[in-house]
Structure 1
Amino acid sequence: MKPTARSAYQEVAALIRSRIEDGTYPRGSRLPTEEQWADEFGYTRVTINAALRVLANEGLVIRARKRGTFVRPIDPIVRRSGARHLKQARELGGAHGAFDAELAERGYTYRPADTDIRRDRPPALVAELLDVPADEASTVVRDRRMSIIYAHNQPAVPYQIATTWIPLDIAGDTAIEQQDPGVGGISSRLEELGFEQVRFPERIRTRPPTSAEAHFLEISEEQLVDEILHRGVTAEGRVVKVTIFVIPTHLVIHEIE
């Protein structure tokens, strides 16, 4: 039976997907053109284009205008829930926080871009969690856009948007307001200030990205992101840090401990 238009593009997507998974097309490699695949598979370019759109939405390939289509250059990062924020993990090898330590395990580094540190009013939910006023600049905010550098002379891969709020009465005029808070990141500075975090509850929801998120993360608005609401809680039960992470769903694996 001749494949329908729908099954045709799904068949092509499955063929390309299998070649990526078996290493025929390695990570970061440029894929054949639509014309080449049309000749090989015997389908029209319209069908090939639809198949590539499916794979792009899955995050397996990246379509760069005027440059071609490439296999996603990095595998998803395993994110170990609360364990990544423990002192021994976030300071491993002199790392400057949990994300830095995770990447070092893979031989990667990261490039923070457009980091904005300011004193500002928190959103209502954050204000409630931190037990601070929502109608005044009661928090220090660290707003970061972070990209992974996975190989020399290769473009960085935009990975996450991370916005952190800490009560101003804790973080004001401390290293937390510096661009680089040092080894262990802001959690280690909080511990030095007498606010050691012992629990790190997180809430995860999957949603479409906003236009601004899609632009930085270099994904389409048809793709999905994981929004992670993270809290750092002291032994006394005080929430001293709230972070909202936004990560493309195809670039993260959650390991809940």
Structure 2
Amino acid sequence: MLSRTGTTTATNERRTAVAKKEPGKVETIAAELRGKIERSAPGFGPGDKLPSVADLQAAHGIAFQTARDVFRALERDGLAFTQQGRGSFVSPFIGKLTRDGVGRYQPAARAEGGARGAFEAELNRLGLVYKPVATDIGRARPPKDVAAAFGLHHSAKAVYRSRAMRAGRDASPSDEGFVVQLATSWFPLEIAADTRLEKQDTGPGGSKSRLADLGFTQRRIRESIEARFPTPEEAEALSIPDDRQVYELVHQASTEDGRVVEVAVHVMPVTIWRFSYTWELDAE
């Protein structure tokens, strides 16, 4: 039987052994690549293609799964992304994009520089470039919570605008950009039908300005945010592993009389985005 002193000695020896244990191959190789990415070493700058799994195997004498786990470790840190059939790349954004949750929807802010909405204007202010892609536009029955917000019958349809929103570092055609969020916006059919809200280009200021043109100026915005794991389809669209969390931000906008005229659902990787809010408080 071990004495109390003997037990303590054995425990300390185990702790010392653990402390001296060398990091595994995945951690060691990932740390090496992480260092190169963080200092933008040649071939490891934003958007650069990383060595292939086969290259990593050959260079370090490791198994296929070990090499794959190295890339997954970088993906979890938000430093890399993988595209099926193309390989792995350094993330274009080392660090996070800050979303100004209050000021971004002011009319002057969302139309600044001719921007087509708050997202494009926000990217411009961050020194990035909005990379427009075709928006999926149509009419369908919205999710139950959206229908409830609009006060619609469960079988009624609404107008939707769904898009994978891309940001790039420059305006050159060779820069395809990087999907930084998925967004689907819903509008009541009786308001949006056969208007510019059903066109690809909604014009300066985006959908909020077009709603104002139609007499539905938004005066109140409510947003709720929660973290969750992405669906397989979301993970693929965002080029992230399915074990990396995303923010789901639900944006609900209403007019002065309280009518909800827009509900938007944004899906945003937690490794890319942070949220900033500033309020003015009443005097004591």
TM-score of the two chains, using structure 1 as the length reference: 0.85
CA–CA distance in 1 between the matches of 2:159 and 2:104?
23
SS in 2 for 1:215: helix
Provide the residue aligned with 1:38 in structure 2. 60
1:89 equivalent to 2:109? Answer yes
Given candidates 155, 178, 181, the residue that maps to 1:135 is 155
Match of 2:209 in 1: 188
User: Given that residues 132 and 166 in structure 2 are in contact (C-alpha distance below 8 angstroms), is that contact kept between their aligned partners in structure 1?
Assistant: yes
- How far apart are residue 216 of structure 1 and its match? 1.9
Rg (Cα) greater in structure? 2
Tell me the equivalent position of 2:167.
Answer: 148
2:39 to 13, 16, 22: 22
Match of 1:53, as an amino acid?
A: R
Identity among equivalent positions (%) equals 36
| Equivalent residue in structure 2 for 1:126, among 143, 146, 149 | 146
Partner of 1:117: 137
Deviates more, 1:89-98 or 1:54-63: 54-63
Any stretches of 5+ residues in structure 2 without a counterpart?
A: 1-19, 279-284
1:69–1:116 Cα change, 3 Å: closer
Offset at residue 120 of structure 1 (A): 2.1
Q: Which runs of 5+ in 1 are unaligned?
A: none
Distance 1:238 1:117 in 2: 23
Count of aligned positions: 250
Measured at CA, do residues 250 and 184 of structure 1 come closer, stay the same or move farther in structure 2, by a change above 3 Å? same
Equivalent runs, 1:1-257 vs 2, <5 Å: 1-3=20-22, 5=24, 8-24=25-41, 25-32=44-51, 33-35=55-57, 38=60, 47-64=66-83, 68-75=87-94, 76-105=96-125, 106-113=127-134, 115-137=135-157, 139-151=158-170, 152=172, 153-257=174-278
Deviations 1:139-182 (A, max 9, x none): 22112222224332133312222111111222222221222111
RMSD over equivalenced CA pairs, Å: 2.4
Alpha carbons 2:82, 2:239 under 8 Å: kept: no
Q: CA separation in 1, counterparts of 2:198 and 2:68? A: 47
- TM-score, structure 2 normalization: 0.78
Shift of 1:206: 1.7
